[in-house]
Amino acid sequence: MTTVAATSQAAYRTITSRTRRAYATALCVNVGIGALISSGWLSIVMVMPSIGLASAVLLTGWQRPPHRPLLISSALVSGATLAWSALSQSTPLGSLGFGITAAVWIIHQRRPRRPLALLVCLVIITVNVLMVWMVAGQVQDWVATVPMMVFGLIWVLVIVEGNREFQLYDLLNRAKDAEREASILRERSRFAADLHDIQGHTLHVIKLKAAVAARLQHTDPERTAEELAAIQRLTAETIEEARSLAHSTHRLVLAAELANAVELLEAAGISIEVQNAGAQDTAFDADFALVLREATTNILRHSRAERVGLTITEDSLTICNDGAPREQRGTLGGLANLRQRISTTAGGVLSVDQDGEMFTVSAQFGQGQA
């Protein structure tokens, strides 16, 4: 479990514990006040089943939907208790169970909650008013009804509005989970791109050297042995690079990639001219090496080049070749992925231009973008 996840769970447990204690304390205080202003102990005993069921619904159902049998039982008992209390005018606790049960039901509904809360409040008020009007309608009856209405209304509003804190907490947790998943996907994408750069380039080089060795195995045994040794070396290097990548220690070096590119292109019969080869060890060394590797791989795979030009400055690298097929435009997915990667991670710009058979790849960083 990560530190963030552990902290999140600890915060959730803290909020849960505090809310449970707050509800229990409020219930005790509410019942105590109601008992003091009730007309007798019998009326308190009559409302206790409703309060007990409502308390069970509240303490078990404010986080997740309560058990349906418990919710239905509490709704029936608290509804009958509300009607009896409004009729007898003996205790203000009669609306307590109904308000709590209705509020818990509301907070687990997908529909808008405030209209439902207002509807429940209207039901509590209507029941009390109708019962008093039907029985007597005297001033003292109306005054006695007010505390019972207030008790029920307060619990409805407190539970429904208080649940917004948990809604916000849940939304924050979901946002954190989504960000965590996005980070994992970004890292997987980066790893896949690096693995493609390493394996794709090297496998193509091995294929090229194997073809040379096969062609020269009878006419030039020494050159064949050199190519086979190079294949063995490249295979070992690829394994080591893959291992370094898995441990996040792999970093391309421009000098090594430049030497490798010159060797490969010359082995393929392609002449290469490098300008300002001394402009290395810059802040963008690894990014230049990545662009050079991808461009070299594309030249060997897709072009019929005879000449390649490479220009390196402190903040830009340009590679051009004269053998690009006309139907190539828009088909080099590796360069498209590399463009996005350069832009996202290094803040650079990778541009591709084709003029007839001349194909140019240019990477610019910092002031070179202007």
Partnered with residue 311 across adjacent β-strands are 275, 318
pLDDT at 215: 86
Percent of the chain with pLDDT over 90: 7
Q: Grade residue 2 by pLDDT with cuts at 50, 70 and 90.
A: very low
pLDDT at 5: 53
For the stretch 29-84, pLDDT in tens is: 888 888 888 777 888 888 899 999 998 988 887 777 888 899 899 999 998 988 88
Q: Grade residue 321 by pLDDT with cuts at 50, 70 and 90.
A: very high
3-state secondary structure 243-284: HHHHCCCCCCCHHHHHHHHHHHHHHCCCEEEEECCCCCCCCC
**Contact status, residue 315 vs residue 367, Cβ threshold 8 Å:** yes
pLDDT at 139: 44
Computed over every residue of the chain, the mean pLDDT equals: 79
- 319 has pLDDT over 90: yes
Give the Cα separation of 286 and 186 in Å (integer). 19
- 1 has pLDDT over 50: no
**Contact status, residue 199 vs residue 238, Cβ threshold 8 Å:** yes
Residues 238-256, mean pLDDT to the nearest whole number: 67
pTM above 0.85, yes or no: no
For the stretch 155-202, pLDDT in tens is: 888 888 877 777 777 777 677 667 657 755 765 676 677 677 667 777
What does the angle CA 205 – CA 211 – CA 217 come to, to the nearest 5 degrees?
A: 130
Domain with CATH 3.30.565.10 in the chain: 252-370
pLDDT at 22: 83
Residues 324-348, mean pLDDT to the nearest whole number: 71
Q: H or E segment at 311?
A: strand 307-312
- 106 has pLDDT over 70: yes
Give the Cα separation of 286 and 253 in Å (integer). 6
Give the Cα separation of 362 and 370 in Å (integer). 13
pLDDT at 209: 83
Phi and psi for 319 in degrees, rounded to 5? -125, 130
Q: What is the CATH number of domain 252-370?
A: 3.30.565.10
Q: DSSP 3-state assignment of 175?
A: helix
- 92 has pLDDT over 50: yes
Q: What angle separates helix 3-36 from helix 139-216, to the nearest 10 degrees? A: 170
Q: DSSP 3-state assignment of 231?
A: helix
Q: Grade residue 259 by pLDDT with cuts at 50, 70 and 90.
A: confident
Give the Cα separation of 58 and 102 in Å (integer). 10
Give the best-scoring range by mean pLDDT among 7-11, 163-167, 260-264, 342-346.
260-264
pLDDT at 190: 65
Residues 140-165, mean pLDDT to the nearest whole number: 78
**Contact status, residue 90 vs residue 38, Cβ threshold 8 Å:** yes
pLDDT at 249: 44
CB under 8 Å, gap of 24 or more: what pairs does 259-264 form?
260/296, 261/292, 261/293, 261/296, 261/310, 264/205, 264/208, 264/296, 264/300
| Residue 313: both structure tokens together | 């400055």
Q: Grade residue 107 by pLDDT with cuts at 50, 70 and 90.
A: confident
For the stretch 288-304, pLDDT in tens is: 888 888 888 888 777 78
Q: DSSP 3-state assignment of 3?
A: helix
pLDDT, greater one: 319 or 166? 319
pLDDT at 360: 93
Residues 91-102, mean pLDDT to the nearest whole number: 88
pLDDT at 77: 93
